[in-house]
Amino acid sequence: MKQHHAEATLIFDVSEHDFAQRVLEGSRERPILVDFWADWCAPCRVLTPILERVVHAHGGRVALAKVEVDDNMRLAGHYRLRGFPTVILFRDGEPTDRFSGARHEHAVREFIDSHLGAA
């Protein structure tokens, strides 16, 4: 699935190699949700399209980085992930909040909105 350039900066895959630059540094410009997922994880396959829809709906105010945990175990260990999917919100280079497990779209919107405040 090809991504348009604007979408590629809004929703992107990230690994241990570019996490610091794309997520930690990038979160100084706007909040970044990081979706820690695994191919074998059924709830992950449910949550990812929901995260993508909600990020698009926020019109660039928040970005989404996707980390495949089997290929990036050090990141999963560093952030002490207990289960998947786990979503961590990064702001100003720091993890500020998280949730684990699949969520309904309205719950994901509320999670993001609670951190963005009024437009």
Q: Which residues are catalytic?
A: 41, 44
What does each C-alpha distance from 6 to 15, 63, 98, 108 come to in angstroms?
20, 11, 26, 22
**Token pair of 56, please?**
């698009």
Query: What are the strands of the beta sheet with 94-100, ordered from one edge?
Result: 11-13, 63-68, 32-37, 86-91, 94-100
| CA–CA distance, 119 with 104 (Å, rounded to integer) | 22
Give the DSSP letter of residue 29.
T
